[in-house]
Amino acid sequence: MKLKTKGVACCIDNSIVARVTFDPLQKSESTVLLVSDRLDASVIANFDAIITTWPLDEQFDYPSVYEVPDFDHLEEGDIVAIHSDGIINTLYRVRSQHNFLLFTERCNSNCLMCSQPPRDKEDSHLAQLYKRVIPLIPKDCTDLGITGGEPTLLGNLFFELLILISSELPLANIHCLTNGRSFAWPDFTYKLNDAIGGNLVLGIPLYADSYLVHDYVVQAKGAFDQTLLGLYQLARFNRRIEIRIVLHKLTIPRLKKLARFIYRNLPFVEHVAFMGLEYQGYTPHNIDKLWIDPKDYAEELSDAMLFLADMGMQISLYNSQLCLTPKELWPFYKRSISDWKNIYLPICDSCSMQDECGGFFASSLKFHSNNITPFI
C-alpha cells in the first residue's frame, strides 16, 4: 500500500499538515483539496494547499503540488504532510485500524531482528509534526499506535505528545511500543502517570528469562535488568503492559522457561504476545542467526502459550500463518499484520481458510517457510 507520493511543489516554504478532501465545498481549517480536473482559482483559494495530477500552471501563485501521478491511495479525511520538495506523506488513514505515529527513529537498543533499524540523528521535528497531526485525528478514532525507534528517548517531548493525545483523543486505545528501559527510572514512570491514563498499553519486548540471551538479542548490555526494573516500576503505578516475544532461533530454546518466568515474576502484565519474525530491516542480514521454520518450533510454542493460558494469563499469537500454527493455538491466533503491508502468496489462492488466516508481511515474498500448505 502506498503511503507516499511526490509531485512538483509550488509556493510551499514550510510543511503543511492537513486533512484531504475531494470536495471543493468542504473547506474547513487545515484542509487540502485534491483536484483531478483543471484548476479553478475561485475554488482553490479556500484551501491550505492544492494537490493535483495536472501539470504546473504558472498563472496560479498558490501552495500546490502539481503532477502527482495519482492519489488513489488517499481517502476523504486522511491526514497528510506536504513538504517543500513535493513529497506528500500519508500520516493518518481514516479507514484504517492500523494507524501509528513514529515518534523517533533513535533507539538505545539495536535488536538483531529490528524491522525499522534505528538512525542516530536528531529528529525532534517529527514530534513537532505530530503536534499538528494529533488535533486533526477524528475524535472517534478507536486505535492509535506509537512506535519508533524508542519513543521514550524523546524525554519531555514524549510526555507532551502523550498529554496532547490524551486530551484530543480520550476515547482511543493507545498502544505504545517501547523497550521499557526508560521506565527503570521512577521519575520517568511518575511522569507517565501524570501524562496519560488507562487507555495506554505499553508493548514491551522480553526475549528470554536470561540476561545473556535478552541482551544479545537487543545488542545492549544491561537491557534485561533495565527492562525488568522498568516493568516493576510500571507495575507500581498499575500501568497496562503487554509483553512481546519475537519467535526466532535465539528465543525459541528458552521459550518454555520464559513463559514460566513471566508467570512467576510478571503476573501483573495484561497480555503476552508471541510474534512471528518479519523479514525486514536487520532480519535479512541476520537470517542465518534468526531463522527457524515455525513448523520446527511448534512444540515449544504450544507449551509456552498453553502454560500461560492455563495459568489464566491473556495470550495471543501474532504475525503467523494458520497452516503453520498448531490447532491447539488457533483460539489465540490473531490476524495482526497491518493492512498496508499484509499480503498472501499465490499458493494461498486455493486455500479454504484464507479469510481466517492473517497472511504474510509483504517482505515475505522474498523469504518464507517452505511448509505453507493450503487447506482444502
In the complex, minimum distance from the CB of residue 113 to ligand SF4, in angstroms, rounded to a whole number: 20
Closer residue to ligand SF4 in complex, CB, 121/327? 327
Q: Whole-number minimum distance, CB 368 to ligand SF4, in Å?
A: 9
Smaller CB separation from ligand SF4, 224 or 360: 360
How many angstroms separate the Cα of 140 from the Cα of each of 26, 162, 163? 19, 17, 18
Taking the CB of residue 325, how many other CB atoms lie within 10 A of it? 21
Q: Who's near 310: CB < 8 A, 6+ residues apart?
A: none
Using alpha carbons, list the distances in angstroms from residue 19 to 135, 138, 258: 11, 10, 45
For ligand SF4, the closer CB: 90 or 321: 321
CB of 349 to ligand SF4, least distance (A): 9
DSSP state, residue 55: P
Residue 197 CB, nearest distance to ligand SF4 (Å)?
Answer: 38
Nearest to 127 by CA among 94, 163, 93: 163
Tell me which residue of 274, 182, 185, 197 sits closest to 240, measured CA to CA.
197
Which of 14, 54, 13 shows the shortest CA–CA distance to 33?
Answer: 54
Beta strands in the chain (DSSP E): 4-6, 8-10, 16-21, 31-35, 49-52, 64-66, 79-82, 87-92, 100-102, 143-147, 173-177, 200-205, 240-246, 271-275, 315-318, 342-343, 360-361
Q: What one-character-per-residue DSSP string does 160-184 give?
A: HHHHHHHHH-TTSEEEEE--SGGGG
Cβ nearer to ligand SF4, comparing 45 with 347:
347
The CA dihedral of 160, 163, 167, 171, to the nearest 10 degrees, is 130
| 237 versus 330: smaller Cβ distance to ligand SF4 | 330
8 Å CB contact between 315 and 274? yes
Query: Rounded to the nearest whole angstrom, what is the least distance from the CB of residue 273 to ligand SF4 in the complex?
Result: 19
The CA distance from 53 to 70, in Å, is 6
Whether 189 and 233 have beta carbons less than 8 Å apart is answered as: yes
- Closest approach, Cβ 301 to ligand SF4, in A, equals 16
Whose Cβ is closer to ligand SF4: residue 47's or residue 360's?
360
Q: List residues near ligand SF4 by CB under 6 A.
A: 321-323, 344, 347-348, 351, 353-354, 357, 372, 374-375
Shortest reach from residue 342's CB to ligand SF4, in Å: 11
The Cα 175–Cα 198 span in angstroms is 11
How far is residue 107's CA from residue 70's CA, in Å, rounded to a whole number? 35
With 0-12 CB in 10 A as exposed, 13-18 as middle and 19+ as buried, what is 199?
A: middle
Report in angstroms how near the CB of residue 330 gets to ligand SF4 at its nearest. 11
Residue closer to ligand SF4 (CB basis): 314 or 371: 371
Output the smallest distance, CB 321 to ligand SF4, in A: 4
Q: Write out the three cell numbers for 335.
A: 490476524
The residue among 197 and 331 lying less far from ligand SF4, judged by its C-beta, is: 331
For ligand SF4, the closer of residues 237 and 375 by Cβ is 375
Whether residue 130 contacts residue 101, with contact meaning beta carbons closer than 8 Å, is answered with: yes
Question: Nearer Cβ to ligand SF4, position 77 or 294?
Answer: 294
Question: Minimum CB separation from ligand SF4 for residue 365, in Å?
Answer: 13
